[in-house]
Amino acid sequence: MADTDEAYVLRPVGRVVSPLTDAASAPRQGDEGTPAAWLVFDTSVERALRDLSVGAELLVLTWLDRARRDVLAVHPRGDESRPETGVFSTRSPHRPNPIGLHRVRVLAVDGLRVQVADLEALDGTPVLDVKPVLGAVNER
């Protein structure tokens, strides 16, 4: 196969500020009951976020900095009665490149700070990217 020896460097564009500080008590997905959180962006990306508006549905990509990268199979949702499953078939945070993918809704925008609903990431989690949820083909 093609060479995969090279590496790429991610530089966070911001940070999650959230009441969620403990992985054990955080919800496993954002739509399973989460408090509102803030995305606090670096001044260097101010121009990239200028069109975010209240009500927008977004995908937030994060770096799950407390995850393990050497885990290749898990019991889904930590339930040992479920068979061990390859991580590419689960949403486990533990995976070779622990990138979190979160669907959120914008509640408020205040300069470099964007408040969102449904973000289950822990306080301090680095933010990598923000993308709009895609609508129908003719609305793109």
**Residue 68 is a binding residue for a second copy (CB under 8 A):** no
Token readout for 54 is 């209240």
Burial class (CB in 10 A: 0-12, 13-18, 19+), 92: buried
Contact present, 60 and 119 (Cβ < 8 Å): yes
Least separation, in Å, of the C-beta of 15 and a second copy? 4
**Residue 42 is a binding residue for a second copy (CB under 8 A):** yes
Q: Computed from CA positions of residues 77, 78, 79, 82, in that sequence, does the dihedral angle turn out positive or negative?
A: positive
**Residue 1 is a binding residue for a second copy (CB under 8 A):** yes
- Report the distance separating Cα 21 and Cα 124, nearest Å: 8
- Of residues 77 through 116, those in contact with a second copy by CB under 8 A are 77, 85-91, 95-97, 99, 101, 112
Among positions 13, 37, 121, 122, the unique one binding a second copy when judged by CB under 8 A: 13
Place of tokens 């509640």: 107
Q: Which residues bind a second copy (CB under 8 A)?
A: 1-2, 4, 6-15, 17, 28-29, 31-32, 40-42, 44-45, 47-52, 56, 58-59, 61, 63, 65, 72-73, 76-77, 85-91, 95-97, 99, 101, 112, 124, 126, 128-132, 134, 137, 140
